C-alpha cells in the first residue's frame, strides 16, 4: 500500500505501481484511495475479481466508542469489532434490525498470536515447573469467558493457536524422533497423553483442581500455613502481575482472588507505558500478560522468543526467561528445516515442550472475524488467511452487469 511521506511541511503521496493511489490526506483524520485506471496489472489472472471500488476512504478515530457511534450513524460502511461485550450487546439498533447492516462472523485460518500470562522464570518463585503448573490450574478460563466475554473466545492450548503448528494428540513420526532422545529430561506424560488444560463449568474452580494445585506446590516446597503458603524459611508465596492496560484489571482480578483462596498473595499493578517498557526491557517483573506475533511459517522470531541466548539480552522478547537446551535444540531444527514436513514436525515438537514446561498460562483467541457492514456489499467467500475486503463489490454494480 502506498504510504504518505513528509516533504517539508506537507504530506505528499509516494509514487507507486499499485492498483490504488492516495489522492487526499487529512493528517490524523482520513485517507482517500482512488483506483488507477491504467494500472498495469489489472488484467493479470491473479487480480481478477479484486480491486472493484473506484474510491476507498479510510477514517481514523482515536476512541472506539466514538467510532462505533459514527458507524451506527452511517459515517462509514464497514466496522471490525474487537470487543466481545459490544459484539454481544451493542448491535440491537434499528439499522441491524431492519437488515440494513449485516452482522457476520467470518471464519478464517489465520494463525493467531501467542497470548498468555508469562511467568518470569528468572525469579526464584517461578523457577520450578510444578509451581508454574499450579498457578496455571488456578486460572478459570470458562468463568472468565462466560462472565466477561459472553462466551466469545476459545481457550488457547498452544503457542500457535489456529495454526497447523499446534501440537495435538501424541507425538508421532518425525516429531517423535525429535523428542525421543530427551525422554529422561522431559515429563513422562508428554509421550503418553495429549497436553490439556483444566476445565471448569464456569462457576468456580473444582475442589479436585484446588487439591492438585496445592499438591504440586507442596512438592515444590510450599506448605499451607493458616491462610498463607510458606516456604521452608517461612517466606510467603507472593508476586506481582504487572499491567499497562487498566482495562485488564477487571479480567485478572478474579484470577488474583482464586490464588488468594489457596494462600498465594498475588497483586495487580498497572503502570504507564514508559515505565512498563523500561521494566520489560530490564526483565523487572514477576508476571505479565503478553502477546507474541505468529505467522503461517514460524521462523527466526521464535529464536528471539524462546532461545536461551536471549535470556540475558536486555530488551529481548524471551519474557519468560526460557533457558532450556531441549528448546534450543528444537529451535535449531526449526530454522534448519529443508521441507514443510520437517518444519511442521520441529514446530509441533517445540510447541509441545513449551506447553509441558508451563512457562505461560495460555489465554484465549478467536478463529473468526467479527464484522458489521452495510447491506450494499457482496462477496463470494473470504480467503482463509485474510479478510479479503479488496475482493468485495457493490451490489448495485452486480445488478448493472
Q: Map out the domains of the chain as residue ranges.
A: 16-109+368-400, 114-365
Average pLDDT over residues 59-69: 93
Given a contact cutoff of 8 angstroms between Cβ atoms, the answer to whether 200 and 140 are in contact is yes
Taking residue 357's Cβ as centre, other Cβ atoms within 10 Å add up to 20
Where does 114-365 sit in CATH, by number?
Answer: 3.10.105.10
- Please give the torsion angle defined by the CA atoms of residues 93, 94, 99 and 103, in that order, rounded to the nearest 10 degrees: -10
pLDDT at 14: 59
pLDDT bin (cut points 50, 70, 90) of residue 7 is very low
Q: Does the pLDDT at position 355 exceed 50?
A: yes
pLDDT at 379: 82
Average pLDDT over residues 165-194: 97
Q: Does the pLDDT at position 102 exceed 80?
A: yes
Where does 16-109+368-400 sit in CATH, by number?
Answer: 3.40.190.10
pLDDT in tens, 23-41: 999 998 999 999 998 999 9
List the single range of 144-148, 329-333, 383-387 with lowest mean pLDDT. 383-387
For 349, the grid coordinates are: 515438537
Average pLDDT over residues 331-349: 98
Q: Does the pLDDT at position 181 exceed 50?
A: yes
To the nearest whole percent, how much of the chain has pLDDT over 70? Answer: 95
Q: What Cα–Cα distance (Å) separates residue 93 from each residue in 66, 67, 78, 97, 389? A: 16, 15, 16, 6, 24
pLDDT at 6: 36
Q: Does the pLDDT at position 3 exceed 50?
A: no
Measured in degrees and rounded to the nearest 5, phi and psi for residue 114 equal -70, 120
Average pLDDT over residues 103-129: 95
Question: What is the pairing mode between strands 10-13 and 228-230?
Answer: unpaired
- Please give the torsion angle defined by the CA atoms of residues 350, 353, 358 and 361, in that order, rounded to the nearest 10 degrees: 40
Q: Does the pLDDT at position 258 exceed 90?
A: yes
Q: Does the pLDDT at position 233 exceed 70?
A: yes
Given a contact cutoff of 8 angstroms between Cβ atoms, the answer to whether 159 and 114 are in contact is yes
| DSSP symbol at 236 | B
Residue 265 falls in which region: left (phi positive, over 0), alpha (psi -120 to 50) or beta: beta
Separation CA 99–CA 391 (nearest Å): 22
To the nearest whole percent, how much of the chain has pLDDT over 90? Answer: 86
Q: Does the pLDDT at position 401 exceed 50?
A: no
Reported pTM: 0.88
| Burial readout 299-327 (b: 16 or more C-beta within 10 A, e: otherwise) | eeebbebbbeebbeeeebbbbbbbbbebb
Average pLDDT over residues 208-225: 96
Amino acid at each position: 500500500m502506498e504510504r504518505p511521506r513528509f516533504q517539508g511541511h506537507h504530506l505528499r503521496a509516494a509514487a507507486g505501481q499499485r492498483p490504488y493511489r492516495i489522492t487526499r490526506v487529512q493528517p490524523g483524520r482520513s485517507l482517500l484511495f482512488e483506483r488507477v485506471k491504467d494500472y498495469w496489472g489489472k488484467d493479470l489472472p491473479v487480480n481478477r475479481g479484486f480491486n472493484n471500488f473506484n474510491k476507498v476512504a479510510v477514517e481514523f478515530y482515536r476512541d472506539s466508542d466514538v467510532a462505533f457511534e459514527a458507524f451506527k450513524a452511517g459515517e462509514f460502511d464497514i466496522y471490525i469489532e474487537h470487543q466481545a461485550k459490544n459484539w454481544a450487546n451493542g448491535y440491537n439498533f434499528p439499522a441491524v434490525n431492519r437488515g440494513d447492516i449485516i452482522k457476520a462472523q467470518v471464519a478464517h485460518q489465520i494463525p493467531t498470536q501467542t497470548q498468555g500470562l508469562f511467568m518470569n522464570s528468572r525469579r526464584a518463585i517461578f523457577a520450578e515447573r510444578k509451581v508454574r503448573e499450579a498457578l496455571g490450574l488456578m486460572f478459570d478460563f470458562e468463568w472468565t469467558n462466560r462472565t466477561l466475554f459472553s462466551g466469545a473466545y476459545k481457550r488457547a492450548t498452544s503457542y500457535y493457536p489456529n495454526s497447523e503448528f499446534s501440537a495435538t494428540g501424541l507425538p508421532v513420526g518425525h516429531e517423535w524422533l525429535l523428542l525421543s532422545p530427551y525422554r529422561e529430561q522431559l515429563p513422562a506424560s508428554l509421550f503418553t497423553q495429549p497436553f490439556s488444560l483444566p476445565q471448569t463449568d464456569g462457576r468456580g474452580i473444582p475442589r479436585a483442581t484446588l487439591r492438585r494445585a496445592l499438591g504440586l506446590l507442596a512438592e515444590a516446597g510450599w506448605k499451607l500455613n493458616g491462610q498463607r503458603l510458606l516456604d521452608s524459611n517461612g517466606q510467603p508465596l507472593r508476586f506481582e502481575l504487572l499491567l499497562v492496560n487498566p482495562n485488564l484489571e477487571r479480567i485478572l482480578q478474579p484470577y488474583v482472588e482464586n490464588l488468594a483462596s489457596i494462600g498465594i498473595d498475588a497483586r495487580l499493578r498497572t503502570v504507564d507505558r514508559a515505565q512498563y517498557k523500561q521494566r520489560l526491557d530490564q526483565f523487572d517483573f514477576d508476571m505479565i500478560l503478553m502477546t507474541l506475533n505468529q505467522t503461517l511459517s514460524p521462523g527466526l522470531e521464535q529464536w528471539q522468543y524462546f532461545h536461551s541466548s536471549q535470556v540475558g539480552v536486555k530488551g529481548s522478547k524471551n519474557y519468560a526467561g526460557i533457558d532450556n537446551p531441549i528448546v534450543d535444540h528444537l529451535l535449531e531444527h526449526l530454522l534448519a528445516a529443508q521441507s514443510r514436513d520437517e518444519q511442521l514436525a520441529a514446530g509441533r515438537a517445540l510447541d509441545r515442550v513449551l506447553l509441558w514446561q508451563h512457562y505461560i498460562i495460555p489465554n484465549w483467541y478467536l478463529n473468526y472475524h467479527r464484522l458489521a457492514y452495510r447491506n450494499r456489499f457482496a462477496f463470494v467467500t473470504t480467503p482463509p488467511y485474510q479478510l479479503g475486503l479488496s475482493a468485495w463489490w457493490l451490489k448495485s454494480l452486480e445488478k448493472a452487469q
